[in-house]
Amino acid sequence: MRFINPKTDYAFKKIFGSSESKEILISFLNALIYEGNSIIEDLTIINPNLPPKIEGLKDTYLDVKATLNNGTIVIIEMQVLNVESFGKRVIFNAAKTYALQLQAGEGYIFLKPVIALTLTDFRMFRDRAPFLSRFVYREKSDGFLYPNNEIELVFVELPKFTRTITELETITDKWIYFIKSAPSLETIPENMEEIPELNRAFNIASRANLTREELENLERQEMFIRDQQGIFRLGQREAREKGREEGREEGREEGREEGREEGREEGREEGREEEKRTIARRLLSRLDDAAIAEIAGLNIEIIRELRKETEA
């Protein structure tokens, strides 16, 4: 038995956002948000229909949205690529979800809390070791909790989770291991099989239960993600080399410590800019201008100029 990759768009929503996913999603959210405690007893999955085939940027992040039995809204996002200003996008989506609850004329009393659960396939907080982080509003000097703490951000950084199958202790461990490692497994591990919701998630993720069309769609999405990750790594490597060389050359020409330092800094800055442009050029044949601008962190006018240069 082989399993599909839960980090891909179609697989993630099929497992957690389809009409048959209610109990699976309850277990998953209790594990990641409430440390395995059965706080969530019921929920409603919003728009449970599986997504259409989406080209470009939409293949890089995944969404499931649910309303809990107490009215709290949970938005779940699985981010595969580390794009420019992603952290700001998480805040924006949470704030937008919170604000758009009210209809014209309704009072603030009707607002319900929002929890943004974000799983990343990259290290988002490099100076922090734990794989799970929670952020709420607190007083800056003494940590006093804001009384109306209605927006909470929860992050799971998959690369920081390094536990092996024999080291899994909690249901939180087991769900994160499923998300990260399902494609490398051939059977359902014994220490995970005992959890009914995980067992159902594995069955949904079984390649044997998918149609040929579904498998082909998944393979295209996985290939797209691998291509983009390769483009990022190559672009970063080439830009770093160019930046270092330009910095060294400029420093040698100045012949003074001040000149060397300015040269290095200028080279680093030019290197960062060239890195973005290199990434953008490699995406021109694959994505539209708006998607490239978000991934590369460049103004859309620069993307248009690069496209004109390529077409000239």
The whole-number pLDDT of residue 268 equals 64
Residue 168 lies inside a defined structural domain of this protein: yes
Structural domain boundaries, residue 175:
9-210
d(CA 69, CA 67): 7
| pLDDT surpassing 90 at residue 292 | no
Give the H/E segment covering residue 294. helix 289-296
Mean of the per-residue pLDDT values of the chain = 83
Collapsing DSSP states into helix, strand and coil, what is residue 145?
strand
d(CA 278, CA 64): 33
Strand partners, 134: 154
Same domain? For 228 and 270 the reply is yes
d(CA 65, CA 57): 19
Higher local confidence (pLDDT), 266 or 209: 209
pLDDT tens, residue by residue, 187-221: 999 999 899 999 999 999 898 787 788 777 777 77
Residue 268 lies inside a defined structural domain of this protein: yes
Same domain? For 75 and 175 the reply is yes
The whole-number pLDDT of residue 67 equals 94
The whole-number pLDDT of residue 54 equals 37
Same domain? For 206 and 232 the reply is no
Give the H/E segment covering residue 67. strand 61-68
pLDDT tens, residue by residue, 55-82: 443 333 447 899 999 999 999 999 888 8
Same domain? For 115 and 149 the reply is yes
The whole-number pLDDT of residue 208 equals 78
In this structure, are residues 157 and 125 in contact, taking their beta carbons and an 8 Å threshold? Answer: yes
The whole-number pLDDT of residue 48 equals 42
